[in-house]
Chain A
Amino acid sequence: MSKKLKKSLWLIVAAGLLFVLSWLPVLKDVKVGLLIISYLIVGWEIIQKALRNILRGHVFDENFLMSLATFGAWYLGEYAEAVAVMLFFQVGEFFQKYAVNRSRQSISDLMDIRPDYANVLRQNKIVKTSPEDVKIGEIIVIKAGEKIPLDGLVIKGSASLNTSALTGESLPQDISKGDEVLSGCINLNGVIEVKTTKEYGASTVAKILDLVENASSQKAELENFITRFAKWYTPIVVILALIIAFVPPLLGFDTFREWSYRAITFLVISCPCALVISIPLSFFGGIGAASKCGVLVKGGNYLEALAKVHTAVFDKTGTLTKGSFIISEISPQGISKKSLLETAAYVESMSSHPVALAIKAAWKDKLDLKRISKIKEVAGKGIMAELDGKKVAAGNLKMLQDFGISNITFPKDKTAVYIVIDGKYRGFIAVEDEVKTTAIPLSRNLKQQGIKQTVMLTGDNKRIASRVGRLLKIDKIFAELLPADKLAKIEQLMQTKPQTSTLLFVGDGINDAPSLARSDIGIAMGGIGSDAALEAADVVIMTDEPSKIIDAVKIARGTILIAQENIVFAIGVKLLVLVLGALGLASIWAAVFADVGVSVIAILNAARALRLYKK
């Protein structure tokens, strides 16, 4: 608790004690005196501020309103009420500040990834310095328990890293020489030396911190609504109070005293503060809850948009599938499976094509490169070479046509490499882009969250696309799209969805920046380590698990629900008290408790947003 907050707590306690004491029959004679002291203890600061602000021409200021209400109560001889209004106003203020501080604290704990120092190896000595002073290419040493201060490559040692602050992933990641490491991870054991590849400002940790810190500058529509509401609410209530105090008695209904009592109940609930705080508090909590599970949301407005998604569009490769191939079928003709794979592995030995990588990965034995020669790539068709003196070729259907081979059975819905040895067709090896396991229930889970339609976009051919689409139960599939076509499809889908709802696009953030920008919410997947994704997307999922999309939507919906509850509840109670107050059915006491009660309940409710994500 800060000093200021502690001070106001003491003032409240002291004033509260005097207030209670004043009710004791023994102290009847000094009752008014006790009340005046109690009033001054809690009210002095407010009256002071009110005077200061009036001099500056800001009349509809909460301090002024509270002062006016309490002066009115004194005037009417309602001494206890006057003290209660000030006392409980301060209690409400104290509670707000306390809750806001708590919530700020828990977010900064959550985002406790900022490295304090870096150990740099300079002239064979370890120098402790600020991460900002480390240049690209310098070598930093990270010991067990320390945070990695800058992005880089491991050049010595191995360790397990805790990446949970970045990714929400609790399983440690093992790294060793040659691996890339990201700043913000914590070294759990062992000592590693890392050659930096980025300056601190461009490192992952600095980018993420920047993003999170600026998240609250993009405000949600609900937040703006409340600000506008607050702007009008106070003046209207005050004017109503004035009318109530003077008009009916002038018209001869009842006494001035009776009506001014009613006017005071109006002033007591004229402060919109609880509402104005509880809404940004909810969104702040929601954004915090999301970052706890590895989803960075760039602003409250995106939480709002996420809560009303109608159409969810996914890029296939890298988002729903792993983007790396595995062998799904080996179909030899006239030779063994093993020698078909061996031949393919040799022919593809020099290629770095994703398919070649899959084949080489499947052939576990070492390649004796002396056996292969005359490797020649035929663009758009395949590779030809000589293996053990035999002419071999590996390629696609076009290459088979060149060899005059036809009438073979080939897999229609898979990518395959066909092998020809000495002009004879010897079989094919089919590969497929592996679907991420967490992508399988994605479509169904999104539907449960109220999303109406799921769409997949891909540059792959129709047969592969529809197989993946069927497996993932995606509603609409658009295949064979060039990058520009993807953008056009998104624009088309944006026009066909209902106006009030939103379109979500999920991509890997590498070459779909225009789509990310064009859609209502662009989610970049596996954003960790990709600068382009961090910049272009509205929401960044740090890991590459599609299931996080569900978490994000759930948190967004929860946050909006909380914010709406607060708006309806707080405005509802205030209106009710206004009506009852005008009719003379609500006392000042009722107004005080309703007002503070609403504040406390709205704030406690808003604080729930931070806990929306449960592991």
Chain B
Amino acid sequence: MKKSYQIEDLDCANCAAKIEAAIKKIKGVENASVSFMTQKLVIETNADIDMIMAEVKKVVKDIEPDCTIIL
């Protein structure tokens, strides 16, 4: 399953790259891509999306507390 989410206040391109790398490491995530330019997260997973997104939120909060994912 492929889903895309809007990210708000993603201010630096380097952080986008860090967030992307961290999300890819979450168990159950097949692939993830964070685009700084479009402020979008595209995530591919076969696991339960709600569980994954809860984990994603944690990761994002840790790296860039200012930015939020719109679910």
Interface residues of A (CB under 8 A from B): 52, 56, 58, 62, 97, 100, 103-104, 213-214, 216-219, 227, 230-231, 272-273, 276-277, 280-281, 284
Contacts and interface: CB of A to CB of B under 8 A. Distances in A.
Contacts of B63: 58
B13 A277 contact: yes
B4 interface: yes
B17 A230 contact: yes
B33 A52 contact: no
A594 to B, nearest CB: 19
A213 B38 contact: yes
Given A104-B37, A216-B35, 7 more contacts: A97-B11, A213-B4, A214-B40, A227-B17, A273-B12, A276-B14, A277-B12
Contacts of A281: 37
Nearest to A212: B38
B62 A56 contact: yes
Interface of B: 4, 11-14, 17, 20-21, 33, 35-38, 40, 42, 62-63, 65
A524 to B, nearest CB: 21
A218 B32 CA distance: 10
A601 to B, nearest CB: 17
Nearest to A58: B63
A273 B65 contact: no
A56 B17 CA distance: 18
Main secondary structure of the interface of B (DSSP, over half): mixed
Given A56-B62, A214-B42, A227-B17, A280 B12 contact: no
B28 to A, nearest CB: 19
A252 B38 CA distance: 52
11 contacts: A56-B62, A62-B12, A62-B14, A213-B38, A213-B40, A219-B33, A230-B14, A276-B12, A276-B14, A276-B17, A280-B37
What DSSP secondary structure best describes chain A's contact surface? helix
Greatest chain A CB density within 10 A among B13, B40, B42 is at B13
B4 A214 contact: yes
Contact of B37 (A218, A227, A273, A284): A284
B17 A217 contact: no
A217 B37 contact: no
A155 to B, nearest CB: 36
Nearest to B31: A217
Given A52-B65, A56-B62, A217-B4, A272 B37 contact: no
Contact of A100 (B14, B37, B40): B37
A272 B14 contact: yes
Contacts of A227: 17, 20-21
The 3 closest A-B pairs by CB, nearest first: A216-B35, A217-B33, A217-B42
Contacts of B20: 227
A585 to B, nearest CB: 28
Contacts of B4: 213-214, 217
A104 B36 CA distance: 10
B14 A217 contact: no
A214 B20 CA distance: 15
Contacts of A103: 37
A288 to B, nearest CB: 10
A410 B42 CA distance: 60
B31 to A, nearest CB: 9
Nearest to A288: B37
Contacts of B14: 62, 230, 272-273, 276
B65 to A, nearest CB: 7
Contacts of B33: 217-219
Nearest to B32: A217
B65 A216 contact: no
Given A58-B63, A230-B17, A280-B35, A217 B11 contact: no
Contacts of A100: 36-37
Contact of A217 (B21, B35, B65): B35
A216 B38 contact: yes
A298 to B, nearest CB: 12
A272 B12 CA distance: 11
A58 B36 CA distance: 20
A200 B24 CA distance: 33
A227 B35 CA distance: 12
Contacts of A97: 11
Nearest to A57: B62
A219 B17 CA distance: 11
